[in-house]
Each structure stands twice: as structure tokens, then as C-alpha cells.
Chain A
Amino acid sequence: MSCPLDGVARTSEEPPAHVAGARRTVLGLEPRFIAIGIAGGVLSGLLGVGGGIVMVPLLVLWAAYGQRDAHALSLGAIIPISLASVITYGAAGKVHYGEAVALAVGAVAGARVGAGALARIDERQLKLVFGVFLAAVGVLMLVRS
């Protein structure tokens, strides 16, 4: 597999998509955001991940966002994406509600702490932490496949 990211990264010499603003289409969004949203959504539903793992790299490397803003945008985009996915799965009768409630009680409390930390953390540290996280996820996926 060649490295697609090298090609992607070079396009970041163009102005960031949110600044260019010339070709507005669906929902007033730049084509790049449309592509990132759809890619995040499909992989989210397909792999059972929230989509942030796809969207954060694309927002940073392709849409030229700062690391911190990319993580915040990704988290916001996950709201409608996970809503649609859970409705789809709910219709298929696969959700275990008791376990979901217990996990959500902890996760909501944890999210306040984590988001507060994102607002303060140094961006280089954030890149490093996220890079290590992605590497761990990648290795885990390879091992389990």
C-alpha cells in the first residue's frame, strides 16, 4: 500500500477549506468537509468506532485545521453520526441497554474532564498522545483481524 497521506498533506499548502469559501454546496459546506463527514460516517458505522479516528487526521492533514480544533470538531460531528448509527442498530435489536446506561454514566463524567483537558493541552503533546493512540488502535485492529 503506497502512502496516501503524502499526497494529502501536500494539498495543505492551499488555503484552509474554511477560509476559501468559494464552492459552497450541501448545507453550505465546502466539498472537503462533505468528504470528511461522509468518510467518517461510513467508517463509523462499518467499524463500530465513532468516526473521530478518521475525521481528526483528515481535518488536520487535509483541511489544515489546528490539532485542538480538529479534535473538537470531530467530537461535535460524532453527535449526529452516532445518533443515526444507533437508530440503525436499534432497529436491528442489537443494543444492550443496561450495560449502555452503566457505561454512559461513567463516560459522561469522564467526557467533562477530557474535554476540559483538550481546551488546555499543548498542541504538540496532543499530536503525540493522539499519534500513540492511533498506533495502539492500529496494532489492536491488526491483531484482532
Chain B
Amino acid sequence: MNGVTLFAALVAFGVLTGVTSGLLGVGGGTLMVPFLTLAAGFSQHAAEATSLLVVLPTAIVGSLVLRRRGVGDLGLALRFGTLGAAGGVVGALLALALPGHVLKIVFACFLLLVSVRLVRDSLVAE
């Protein structure tokens, strides 16, 4: 891909990531990290670092829209997120030192359990 095509592809993928992020309250790294490693040839660490830089403005803009609509509580979110930031530093340093294989498998199982529950709730609850 030449520079312009790559830029356009990245912007388009960014739109997809941003919509998902705003709708689901996730950062979007889940989509971007595989994209950057598989399609753009990034190393895992570079993909994770770059994706986090995109997550930041995305979360800010999405949160401002939700605050204007009166959804959630941005003050509370920023306070417990600040605490989580300390955990984020620890996690990032661990990621630079660990292969993380086993952890990913355990975490994937956790996600599958949650997803079963959510889908069941959405179909059963009145």
C-alpha cells in the first residue's frame, strides 16, 4: 500500500473502532491491536502502544457526548479511572516483561462466560 491508501485505510478502520468504542464503552484496542499486527505488520508491543494513543482522544470525545446526553457520571468515572491508571502502569510494565499467553487464555474464558450471561439476560429478561 502507498502512503495515501494506507492513511485512508487507517482512517476508515478508525471510524469503525470509534463507533464501537462510543457504543460499547470500550477503548477500541481490542479491534486495533489485531488490525495493526495482522494488517499493518506491527509488533505486538508497538500495536498495543499505538492503540492506547488512539483510545485516549476517542474516550474523551465519546465521554463528552454522553455527558451532554446525561448518561453515566463522568466525575465518578474519572475518579475510579484515575485509580485504575495506577494499575495500568503496572499492567503495561508487566506486558513489556511477560509473554502473557496463559493470562490471555484465562481472560478469554472469562469473556466467554460473561458473554453467555449477557446474551441469556438479553433474551430472557423482560
| CB atoms of B81 and A26 under 8 A apart | no
Known: A45-B93, A49-B29, A75-B63. A110 touches B16 (CB 8 A): yes
Q: Tell me whether A45 and B91 are in contact in the complex, defined as CB-CB below 8 angstroms, given that A83-B56, A90-B49 are known contacts.
A: yes
Interface SS majority for chain A? helix
Residues of A within 8 A of B54 (CB): 100, 103-104, 107
With both chains docked as a complex, state the minimum distance between the C-beta of B101 and any C-beta of chain A, in angstroms.
5
Q: Find the B residue at minimum CB distance from A28.
A: B79
| Distance A31 CA – B88 CA, assembled complex (angstroms) | 18
Q: Is the CB of A72 within 8 A of B118?
A: no
Number of interface residues of A (CB under 8 A): 102
B84's partner among A37, A128, A133 (CB-CB below 8 A) is A37
Contact of B58 among A28, A55, A111 (CB under 8 A): A111
Picked from A28, A129, A140, the residue with its CB within 8 Å of the CB of B23 is A129
Binding site for A on B (CB under 8 A): 6-7, 10-30, 32-34, 36, 40, 42-63, 65-66, 69, 71-74, 76-96, 98, 100-101, 103-119, 121-123, 125
Decide if the interface of chain B is mainly helix, strand, loop or mixed. Answer: helix
Q: How far is the CA of A135 from the CA of B27 in the complex (A)?
A: 17
B26-A84 in contact (CB<8A) = no
For B16, give the chain A residue with the smallest CB separation. A110
* The residue from A46, A70, A76 contacting B92, defined by CB atoms under 8 A apart: A46
Q: Which of A29, A49, A50 contacts B59 (CB 8 A)?
A: A50
* Smallest Cβ-Cβ distance to B75: which chain A residue: A76
Does A36 touch B at the CB level, under 8 Å?
yes
A20 at the interface (CB under 8 A from B): no
Minimum Cβ distance to chain A for residue B106 (Å): 7
A23 sits at the interface (CB 8 A): no
Decide if B83 touches A75 in the complex (CB within 8 Å).
no
